[in-house]
Chain A
Amino acid sequence: MIPEATTKTTYQLPIGPIHPALKEPVAFEFEIDGERIVDVNVSLGQVHRSVEWAGMRRNPIQILYLAERICGICSYCHPMAFALAVERVAGIEVPERADYLRVIQAELERICSHILWAGVAAHEIGFDSVLFLTWQMREKALDLTEYLTGNRVTKAITMIGGVRRDITKDMVPKVTETLNYFKDNFEKLRHIFLDDKTFKMRSQGVGILTKEDALRLCACGPTTRASGVKKDVRLDQPYFAFGDLDFDYVTPDVLTGEVNGDVYDRIIVRLLEVKQSIGLIEQCLDKMPAGDIVSEPKIPKLLATLKKAKGEGIGRMEAPRGEVFHYVKLDENEYPYSWKVRAPTYNNIMPWIPMLRGEQIADIPIVAASTDPCMSCTNRVAVVDNGKKYVLDKEELHRLSVEKTRRLMA
């Protein structure tokens, strides 16, 4: 229940808890004083889509495609984290070439996700021409994904013990061509996002997450790295072929020399990660050894092995949004005994509290979007003001945000 407002001047603004487009239903209660957010209360634990339950009635091969549908943007890292967990239980060795191919797919997904996010962030502050520019670039990434995997979004490339499709020699030119396109356009994107007055106005000093808060609230992924915390599963506990590749933590001080932990820094981190991912794919193409792409090509045999496996395992991966975590317990049965998924947004919800405190209502969209959650959470907002109820939906919040940009420009 919403508590009564403590003073006459503040009022409560609840968001959530249920929205069809939200991956993780979450309820917010804002305490508002005029335009300023005095306090935010987040209540989690309203997530139940029965994905895990459905998984316990399917064999591991079927779960790969179910896990793919947990998230549309992270449609690679969920099944892959599940596969990592199952491989650990069953003791399946992954061929070296498959490890490199897995890195290529993971980094391609990161490029796709970060460019998509950049467009959404621009849209949130009312800068729609940038949205179209970034999504035009994202189209190239999607085309490459379709070329490599056979589909644009649900890639279906994961297989327990490897990957399903190889990158042959005659496919390499198309990959390098797309990577060169990104390299050529990266400078353009960096210039627009980091030098433009509109972006600086709305993102510098907004939604600050201090290093202490980021550590205390267990933020993960680009959100925590933007606050200066060097935390990246790829480097901390290397999986796939990441241990052999040359790269480092991306923090905003690489570019600007200082860490503020604001929305601007989160933009910097994501843009630099796009560049880093391009480099990683190139390294993989160079170093990739020849060999098998999957440890057991015969699926009935693989299923029989998994049926005999017993034990529990975890799979950790650095998804575009942060650390994704899968826990699997196999019990010498056709179906897994237990399966638990923890998506990165779960960690990145709590940092919203220190980020949003003291900001304006019009900043909610960009601050919330800066952690890269499913942004439709701003929909279905009801404002209760002196007993009179009215609804603040996503369009209205977006309009307020655009107006603020205009006001600052004037």
Chain B
Amino acid sequence: MRFSMLPQVFAQMFKKPWTNKFPAKYIPRSTTKFLDDVGSGKAKLIPPIETPEGFRGKIQYDTEKCTGCKLCIKVCPTEAIEYKEKEKKIKIYLARCCFCAQCTDVCPVNCLSMSNEFLLADADKYSKDLIVE
């Protein structure tokens, strides 16, 4: 066949696009306002595609369990973890984190874990959302 792509293109015209239009069908003029509207129930959010099991998202930190052994600091490739001398606890800067989950693997008391939260964009790298302690 001379143009073997043509049947494909025609078939595609009648198929639903694969793109999941998260968070809305059209980009809202103001995302913050849109999120406020979603909160008050005025607008509806198109949910994102679900993350699979074992997804490496935002780190969860259980302060109670932590013994301050510093092993996570030793293996962190991006040096995103700071040690708080006084309290003998850690502070994780997510803006530096590369989400490799090496710290959660090495933790002897399992006080670190990966959640499936991935919406972490922020204008300020030291914002409250991006620091886990």
Which A residues are closer than 8 A to B by beta carbons?
58-59, 61-66, 69, 127, 129-130, 133, 136, 139, 143, 146-147, 150-151, 154, 156, 164-165, 188, 191-192, 195-198, 299-300, 303
- A196 and B55 contacting across the interface, CB-CB below 8 Å: no
Q: Residue of A at shortest CB range from B107?
A: A299
Report the minimal beta-carbon distance from B124 to chain A, rounded to whole angstroms.
24
Contacts of B106 in A (CB 8 A): 299-300
- B4 and A195 contacting across the interface, CB-CB below 8 Å: yes
B56 sits at the interface (CB 8 A): yes
Contacts of B5 in A (CB 8 A): 127, 129-130, 133, 192, 196, 198
* CB under 8 Å from chain A, chain B span 15-63: 18, 51-56
Q: How far is the CA of A146 from the CA of B8 in the complex (A)?
A: 28
- Given A64-B77, A130-B5, A150-B55, the answer on whether A136 and B18 have CB atoms closer than 8 Å is yes
For chains A and B in complex, what number of residue pairs have CB atoms within 8 angstroms?
81
Contacts of A58 in B (CB 8 A): 77
Report the minimal beta-carbon distance from A129 to chain B, rounded to whole angstroms.
5
- A150 and B56 contacting across the interface, CB-CB below 8 Å: yes
B83 sits at the interface (CB 8 A): no
Q: How far is the CA of A192 from the CA of B2 in the complex (A)?
A: 10
B76 sits at the interface (CB 8 A): yes
B132 sits at the interface (CB 8 A): no
- A299 and B75 contacting across the interface, CB-CB below 8 Å: yes
Contacts of A300 in B (CB 8 A): 71, 74, 106
B117 sits at the interface (CB 8 A): no
Which B residues are closer than 8 A to A by beta carbons?
1-5, 8-9, 12, 18, 51-56, 71, 74-78, 98-102, 105-106, 114
Q: How far is the CA of A349 from the CA of B32 in the complex (A)?
A: 48
Known: A150-B56, A156-B99, A303-B75. 20 other contacts (CB 8 A): A59-B75, A65-B102, A129-B8, A130-B5, A139-B18, A146-B52, A150-B54, A151-B55, A151-B99, A154-B100, A156-B56, A156-B100, A156-B102, A195-B1, A196-B1, A196-B2, A198-B3, A299-B75, A299-B102, A300-B74
- B55 and A146 contacting across the interface, CB-CB below 8 Å: yes
- Given A61-B75, A62-B77, A300-B71, the answer on whether A196 and B100 have CB atoms closer than 8 Å is no
Q: How far is the CA of A10 from the CA of B62 in the complex (A)?
A: 69
Contact of A129 among B9, B54, B74, B75 (CB under 8 A): B9
- B98 and A65 contacting across the interface, CB-CB below 8 Å: yes
Report the minimal beta-carbon distance from B88 to chain A, rounded to whole angstroms.
18
- B4 and A191 contacting across the interface, CB-CB below 8 Å: yes
Report the minimal beta-carbon distance from A250 to chain B, rounded to whole angstroms.
22
Report the minimal beta-carbon distance from A279 to chain B, rounded to whole angstroms.
24
Q: How far is the CA of A164 from the CA of B102 in the complex (A)?
A: 10
Q: How far is the CA of A192 from the CA of B1 in the complex (A)?
A: 9
Contact of B74 among A59, A66, A198 (CB under 8 A): A59
Contacts of A303 in B (CB 8 A): 74-75
- Given A61-B102, A129-B8, the answer on whether A151 and B74 have CB atoms closer than 8 Å is no
Contacts of B3 in A (CB 8 A): 196-198
Q: How far is the CA of A299 from the CA of B74 in the complex (A)?
A: 10
- Given A58-B77, A150-B101, A299-B75, the answer on whether A165 and B9 have CB atoms closer than 8 Å is no
Report the minimal beta-carbon distance from A42 to chain B, rounded to whole angstroms.
34
Contacts of B99 in A (CB 8 A): 151, 154, 156
Q: Residue of A at shortest CB range from B69?
A: A300
Q: Residue of A at shortest CB range from B75?
A: A61
Q: How far is the CA of A403 from the CA of B22 in the complex (A)?
A: 36
- A151 and B8 contacting across the interface, CB-CB below 8 Å: no
18 A/B residue pairs, CB under 8 Å, sorted by A: A59-B74, A64-B77, A65-B77, A66-B77, A130-B5, A133-B5, A147-B53, A150-B56, A150-B101, A151-B55, A151-B99, A154-B100, A192-B5, A196-B2, A197-B2, A198-B5, A299-B102, A300-B74
